[in-house]
Amino acid sequence: MKRVLFGSVASIALAVCGPAAASDAPIPAPTYKASVAVAVSPWAGSYIGLQGGYGWGRSSHTFTGFDSGSFDVDGGIGGITTGYNWQSGTLVYGYESDTSYTSLDGSKACTTNCFTELHWLSNYRLRAGQVWNQYLLYVTGGLAVGTVKAGDGGASDTKTRFGWNAGAGIEAVIAPKWTAKLEYLYVDLGSKKNYSLPPATDVSFQGHIVRVGVNYQFSIWDWLMQRR
């Protein structure tokens, strides 16, 4: 009987103390997967945007024995922008192009009435700048292509003209993937034969542009992956 009693007590003791003893066993420390923070540049990559502003400048009409003298041209400008940036440290460099409809025009009394109108302007430029906090200060320059209509009285013609541009600007990150900019650009389309009265008349065009714009950064590769 005593053996049965001691056996029962021992069984109960093991049943109660066994889990407690197990709970005293060392618990392995939890393991965590190290997360690696990847810095994403707010500037690097492709972008597209809208821009618009105001332009003003000078034009003149000349042919053998005649010079109209320069006269003012001015008007609005607006269109689209595309580009691509690379970033190395605080240095940002890249390529940008823009195409705009413009209403820059002006006239002056000459043999009858000389006028110059800039209808379209495209700029193909390189950019390089320095990042300061969320701002990018940059310089830019490259090729300018414009559609110029000019005439005097009954004679007029529209020509595609090639020239150059140079300027500077400031751009700021305003939201994830979004930037806004303020830019100045000088455009020189030279002095080229534009229409015949006759004789053939050289028309010059030089202008200044101040504009604002917004750009959206996107990745074609990411877009394609999301479409799968």
Structural domains in the chain plus CATH codes: 45-60+73-214 (2.40.160.20)
Question: In the chain, helix, strand, coil percent, each to 5?
Answer: 15, 65, 20
Decide: helix, strand or coil at residue 23: helix
8 Å CB contact between 225 and 69: no
- How far, in Å, CA of 111 to CA of 68, rounded? 8
**Nearest Cα to Cα of residue 123 among 138, 137, 104, 142:** 142
Q: For residues 156, 159, 164 and 167, what is the CA-based torsion angle, rounded to 10 degrees?
A: 70
Neighbours of 105 (CB within 10 A): 17
Tens of each residue's pLDDT in the chain, 228 residues: 444 444 444 444 444 445 444 445 455 555 544 444 444 578 999 999 999 999 999 999 998 888 999 999 999 999 999 999 999 999 999 999 999 999 999 999 987 889 999 999 999 999 999 999 999 999 999 999 999 999 987 789 999 999 999 999 999 999 999 999 999 999 999 999 998 877 889 999 999 999 999 999 987 655 655 666
- How far, in Å, CA of 88 to CA of 2, rounded? 87
DSSP state of 228: -
First to last CA, the chain: 78
pTM value is 0.79
